[in-house]
Structure 1
Amino acid sequence: MDELAALEDPKARAVNEKHGDDHGVNLGALRAIAKRLKIQQDLACDLWRTGDSAARLLALLICRPRLFGRDELDTMLRESRTPKVHDWLVNYVVKKSPHAEELRVAWLADPDPVVASAGWALTTERVGKKPDGLDLVKLLDVIEAEMKQAPDRLQWAMNHCLAQIGISHAEHRDRALAIGERLEVLKDYPTPPGCTSPYAPVWIEYMVSRQTA
């Protein structure tokens, strides 16, 4: 914790706070510490219990995802209220857990929009890699009915799922494009040069063009 405190940078904190995060440690420095520590599950659990965001990010880099129980991961997700901790927990830990599918189904229906966004992130993963058993038509129905009014983090996750359906499943592409065009979610999102817009129709068409190039 002393080492993490010494890495605190006011400029990094100011940038992170603009994105809803509450730490000032450079992520490259965190990854360097994690590389030195290697996998240490007990230390990861101790770091998580501090509640400090930088410590929790480090914990997610040095933990062993398969050792966490289903209820333990659920509790951790509900404690993860800052975007970066939430994102790393879902992508680096939950996706590698044997409990991922059970949690996906539970979180997708959760009334807490931050928790639900994790369910949508896991669903997007399945849409792209393991779609068998998913009702893509129903997912599109829900996105069409609810995405426009959804809180920001949930809306972002639903939009990613919409784009992934359009990218990965040609039979649903026209409908995915039509939903994106009608709802106009993230249409005016500021996109840096060289990056792809998160606006679903642009995102879908760009990724499909790369697949067919």
Structure 2
Amino acid sequence: MNLETVMQELEALGKERTKKIYLSNGAHEPLFGVATGAMKPIVKKIKINQHLAEELYATGNYDAMYFAGIIADPNAMSVSDYDRWMDAAYFYMLSDFVVAVTLSESDIAQEVADKWIASGEELRMSAGWSCYCWLLGNRKDDEFSDEKISNMLDMVKNTIHESPERAKSSMNNFIYTVGLSYLPLHKKALETAKAIGPVEIKREKKKNSFLNAYENIQKEIEKERLGFKRKHVRC
């Protein structure tokens, strides 16, 4: 399959209702409104194709960019490649659910994520923290440094309330993910979440929302899901 045929197939899968949902979350034209699950049959035909992924991502079409993340070869991409993808990720569904997800399956994931967290740029920070959520929720605990993750919890505790809105959301999710999926620091994550308390997220044209990692971790403990790891990150 080439760029033209994939674009035609994606367009045929588009739904107006899905498109409206994506637009309300920050997507803009061009896009078709394809549900992510509907993409699976095309993914099976293509599997991994980095060249095609690059062509699709460069279209600027949200659905094509999302699909690009699924068929990309994470280890074929360099630091500059990930930076280039982030430059084009204009809202959180691209930064956190396309670029960060693809990065999380690469060998340079922590290196790039650390750089983005330190950047001070809202979507890069959000993608960096999100990448760690995907990593911690999938990889074995012994692949991480307890000291490093502990220091990151401290960073969240000290800066979350003053951070950019999208970064706040991903930082809150980081605490939740450590509390649920990274057993060595489960207790510290709970203590950190309790100390932080509810996190207010301000959103344009929508009511402000409040996130509470402490309550969400407790709910998972009650469901006996402590230590949960997902088998796959990308669909």
By relative contact order (CA 8 Å, sep 6+), the higher-ranking structure is: 2
Residue 67 of structure 1: aligned partner: 76
How many correspondences in the alignment?
200
Residue 15 of structure 1: aligned partner: 21
Say yes or no: does 1:146 pair with 2:156.
Answer: no
Residue 215 of structure 2: aligned partner: 202
Instruction: Give the TM-score taking structure 2 as reference length.
Output: 0.74
AA partner of residue 90 (structure 1): A
Distance 2:70 2:91 in 1: 17
Distance 2:25 2:155 in 1: 27
Residue 36 of structure 2: aligned partner: 27
Instruction: Give deviations 1:120-153, integer Å, cap 9, x for gaps.
Output: 1233455563331543443233222321232332
Residue 36 of structure 1: aligned partner: 45
Unaligned runs of 5+ in 1: 188-196
Distance 1:98 1:151 in 2: 28
Unaligned runs of 5+ in 2: 1-6, 202-209, 227-235
AA partner of residue 202 (structure 1): E
Residue 199 of structure 2: aligned partner: 185
Residue 232 of structure 2: aligned partner: none
Say yes or no: does 1:175 pair with 2:191.
Answer: yes
Does structure 2 conserve the Cα–Cα contact (< 8 Å) formed by 1:31 and 1:58?
no
Residue 175 of structure 2: aligned partner: 162
* Identity fraction in percent: 22
Residue 206 of structure 2: aligned partner: none
Distance 2:189 2:55 in 1: 46
AA partner of residue 49 (structure 2): Q
**Structure with more of its chain in helix, by fraction:** 1
Does structure 2 conserve the Cα–Cα contact (< 8 Å) formed by 1:186 and 1:199?
no
Instruction: Give deviations 1:44-90, integer Å, cap 9, x for gaps.
Output: 11111212111111111122111111211111122112333221221
Specify whether residues 151 and 172 from structure 1 end up closer, same or farther in structure 2 by C-alpha distance, changes over 3 A only: same
Q: What SS does the aligned partner of 1:145 have?
A: helix
Distance 1:170 1:49 in 2: 40
Question: Aligned-pair RMSD on alpha carbons?
Answer: 2.5
AA partner of residue 88 (structure 1): V
Residue 193 of structure 1: aligned partner: none
Distance 2:154 2:148 in 1: 10
Residue 103 of structure 1: aligned partner: 112
Q: What SS does the aligned partner of 1:111 have?
A: coil
Instruction: Give the TM-score taking structure 1 as reference length.
Output: 0.81
Distance 2:135 2:49 in 1: 29
Distance 1:165 1:63 in 2: 27
Matching of residues 73-112 of structure 1 within 5 Å: 73-86=82-95, 87-91=97-101, 93-112=102-121
Specify whether residues 32 and 21 from structure 1 end up closer, same or farther in structure 2 by C-alpha distance, changes over 3 A only: farther
